[in-house]
Structure 1
């Protein structure tokens, strides 16, 4: 694993914890994002699981820099021992210059995955099918943060200047804003998935725009953590 990448990510994680109004919740977010159980992290850094639970729940005072460093190093160590997949995922986001509150996840698959398989992994309902039946990766984007903070060039960079992927927009109420924003991006992705709503709530022109730009459009209303876990289960 490239140490520079790890150091950059560790600095970002520590900064988020230090600046958070709820440091314990931020620590918990990172631990669950790295899919490391409390017991495994506790064993790795040599404390009891109750210590980690107390910090994450706020039962102990705000953790000092020493315990934050140990917890973050422990998460990164465990991930490296597993092959470093989560470090690589976050490194891709960092290298693109985006914050984790804009990009929840960005990943390339080992081979093309059928869009139906993607739908199955995240409980999505397809509204219309585009011309391509597979994707080679996904990008999960906070739609409000992306639309309000990114330029069209940055928005284009979000999905790696590749059409062969799925864009998943979270924080969606109707889907109008992300779909209109996609009209300034060329070419478009193979699939767009709107998260947080059902088919009855989708903007009335959404399917028309998807057909015009020839991408598959689907919706899902599962919990965000479940959505991310489903996508990460893909090869």
Structure 2
């Protein structure tokens, strides 16, 4: 497989180049890397106002040289912090997924109590399952996964162990993820539906989860905050 750092750099640069609003795309990636404007400015040896002007569109669209410097700056900051963003990208690539389908796929060094997992992402359990721990998680764009993944690819969402939590984002009521899981065996230990309150849940969802022995929960924590919180797990 190609070097994940190089792959990620090309992906960011390509998105910026093809974007109708390059400044907004640069801002999105800076925020994805959790890098402040002042930190990026220091890395690039420019003033914070220069970074702000590019992101807001006050300066003309950045050329390839500017984009390259920004991308290299973000990756350099990430490396000094331990390389979490590049490793996350590498995990998704190694599992054979695009990162607009799977946001994160990770195995833990030790099992984590399900109560701690839910607490970490501010999730509320709706239905208890048969497992009380998880050994990993996968965060999935539910719409893209259902549109684009085959049943075999869907199974790969489990990574190395089915004792994991599958977190589905872009959920309206939860029908599609739960129905899809019914035709894929075995089942995960937990399913988290992201972006809905418990009262907005599909009425049949708890019964389907109970039938399969799956813990079911919901969370409305913003996606970037959720992904950041999951990095705290071992």
- Range into which the TM-score falls when normalised by the shorter chain: over 0.9
Q: Structure 2, unaligned stretches of length 5 or more? A: none
Query: 2-side partners of 1:19 and 1:138: how far apart?
Result: 31
Could you report, residue by residue, the CA deviation over 1:58-106 in whole angstroms, capped at 9, with x for unpaired residues? 2222111111111111111111112211101011112223222212222
Residue 36 (structure 1) aligns with: 35
Query: 2-side partners of 1:182 and 1:192: how far apart?
Result: 10
Q: Structure 1, unaligned stretches of length 5 or more? A: none
Contact 2:91–2:104 (CA<8 Å) still a contact in 1? no
Q: What count of residue pairs does the alignment treat as equivalent?
A: 234
**Aligned pairs for 1:78-117 within 5 A:** 78-117=77-116
Structure 2 CA distance for partners of 1:149 and 1:192, relative to 1, 3 Å = same
CA RMSD of aligned residues (A): 1.7
Contact 2:107–2:160 (CA<8 Å) still a contact in 1? no
TM-score, normalised via structure 1 length: 0.93
Contact 2:194–2:220 (CA<8 Å) still a contact in 1? yes
**Aligned pairs for 1:1-235 within 5 A:** 4-235=3-234
CA positional deviation for 1:115:
1.3
TM-score, normalised via structure 2 length: 0.94
Query: 2-side partners of 1:155 and 1:115: how far apart?
Result: 23
